[in-house]
Amino acid sequence: MMRTALPRSGLLPSGTPSCTCARQASHFPASLSTASSPPPPPPAPSTSLYAQPATPALAQALDNPAWSDPAYLRRYRDPSRHDARLPPSTSRRLETSAKSSAASSSTSDASSANGNGNGNGNGVKTQRSRRNRLEMEALWSGGDFSPPIPLESYRAQTTRPRHALLFPGSGSQYVGMGAFLREQKPAQDVWTEAEEALAGFEDWRKGLKLHEHEGELGQLGRMLDETEAARRKEPKLREVVFEGPQDELTRSSNAQPAILVTSTAFLRTLERQYNLPLSKTSSLILGHSSGEYSAAVATGALSLTDGVRLTRLHGLLTHYALSLPSIGLSPDLDAPPALRGQMSALVLNPGHSHAELTEVIAKIRAERQNLSGSEGTVEVASFNSTTQVVLAGSRDGILRASEVLKELEIASRAADLPVSAPFHCSFMAPAAAGMHAALTSPSITLHTPSTPLVSGLDGSLITTPSSLVSGLVAQISRPVRWSSCLSALPTTHDVRRLIFLGPGQALANLARRDAKLRREAEVAAGGGGAGEAEGGETEVLSVATEKDMERLRETWEEEDGA
């Protein structure tokens, strides 16, 4: 397995000296310093973390014209051409090296062998997008390339352990995801239903009459009305998913329904083609971020048609909400860094906690009260694991917060996420109001989940339509506590097998890493490594490829025959 070491900072150019305790203490207020050296001289009159001048290295990054070049930023958000480690140079920021014909031929052969090729070059593109996607996930999770699931991970047991299904959310999309499923009848049916739902989306949306509401929700409704004609000319979702381009797929109004459809195609193919009753036999079902819509569809709480329309609306509302005067941000790559919405993954350094990071972010937020709207804002959007946290806000705010956290040696910025709007932020309340109006409208039919869902907000169980609506609405403007949800599965719910289903492996890799850290902690504490609360180890499976599906079926059949 290929491994790469994550640099101390994912923000600054290589060669930038790491901070010393003395520099750290002199650069920030004593309340934030973690240095144990003698107290430094009194700071200058202005000690504001937010208002102080940027360090030379940060200034260099912010002043580099490539950082603000829209063409570079499209590349930066494109998993097929992503390189978050190296700050751009004006001479190579747009470089996209051409593959040799021999390499393309080799990739094409591998694509055909894996069932992803279709003889017209799309298999090559799918394989390349998939490979580059895995490389980008490595940055998000802390530097290790996403490994293939080892065969021993799929080990049949005498008694099948209680398992949970887990679905990915925003940011997991890439061109060609789920392409190998296109020949499967269940997946074809899913896409047919999804495209029929989207064909009627605008009529359904207008029926919600969002423009008639007062305040900012009414403003959002009128924005959607004014841009309807342009949306009707956009390419079909299926074409965007399988053909790209990536920046079109990354738009929230495409990415969110695309992830839902792809995840549902995975599940229904496994259930109807492979005869694996996953949703019926699962003890719990979870969705990360917008993946909660996939989870709701899996349990029958939402129909696929309603889920597809709701996720497209969710993407549109969060996109246009940025333009509201009270927010004042922009999804446009041409916007200045202080006004451009963004989400970035950070990796905590060993020995540091979520609480430390949250305290620093809270102090930075408190010092930007004099700024208008959400200019320069930054918030914690998601606690994905014990070592990874996602920030959301403006690009400038995230870069500055990352610099502070790096100087304090608490965390390093790993990569920007491929999303077109920041989610799970307090300033997204207008979008949340729009989703509440949609979810409670007579046009949406809600059912009691056939399997309990787990709320990503607090780990509580969702067992009624009303609690489902509350959770889906609240998560738009509140942080996701995914790490806490996963840690409670074995200890509180006795779930010993986690089946991550759908595009991408980042969440599975983070869960696997946390499970390893827990085992190591138990051994160090003298627990003998028996596993969570003496119940045994938690098994983490990722079902993201055709081979993964075959292995899961083999394991399932062995356990049925045991």
Question: Which CATH fold would you assign to the domain 153-325+426-501+548-561?
Answer: Malonyl-Coenzyme A Acyl Carrier Protein; domain 2 (3.40.366)
Residue 108's CB is within 10 A of a number of other CB atoms, namely: 19
Question: How many whole angstroms separate alpha carbon 312 and alpha carbon 317?
Answer: 9
Beta strands in 445-521 (DSSP E): 453-454, 461-462, 497-501
Residue 104's CB is within 10 A of a number of other CB atoms, namely: 16
Neighbour-count burial for 263-292, b at 16+ CB within 10 Å, e otherwise: bbbbbbbbbeebebebbeebbbbbbbbbbb
Token readout for 221 is: 């409704």
Residue 468's CB is within 10 A of a number of other CB atoms, namely: 24
In the sheet with 539-543, reading across from the earlier edge strand, the strands are: 461-462, 453-454, 284-287, 163-167, 497-501, 539-543
Going by C-beta distance under 8 Å and a sequence separation of 6 or more, which residues neighbour residue 293?
256, 260, 287, 302, 307, 310, 311, 314, 472
Give residue 97's Cα distance to chain centre. 27
Q: Compute the C-alpha angle 366/455/313, nearest 5°.
A: 80
Which one-letter amino acid corresponds to residue 356? E
Task: Please identify every stretch of the chain with a pLDDT value under 70, giving residue numbers as ranges.
Answer: 1-158, 369-374, 527-536, 562
Q: Give me the pLDDT at residue 127, please.
A: 56
Token readout for 539 is: 């098994």
Q: What are phi and psi of 244, to 5 degrees?
A: 85, -165
Q: Give me the pLDDT at residue 8, please.
A: 34
Beta strands in 426-475 (DSSP E): 453-454, 461-462
Q: Give the start-to-end residue ranges of the domains of the chain.
A: 153-325+426-501+548-561
DSSP state of 152: G
Q: Which helix (H) or strand (E) holds 166?
A: strand 163-167
State pTM to two decimals: 0.76
Going by C-beta distance under 8 Å and a sequence separation of 6 or more, which residues neighbour residue 326?
216, 373, 427, 430
Q: Give me the pLDDT at residue 377, please.
A: 87
Question: How many whole angstroms separate alpha carbon 213 and alpha carbon 225?
Answer: 13
Question: How many whole angstroms separate alpha carbon 74 and alpha carbon 67?
Answer: 11
Q: Give me the pLDDT at residue 408, please.
A: 94
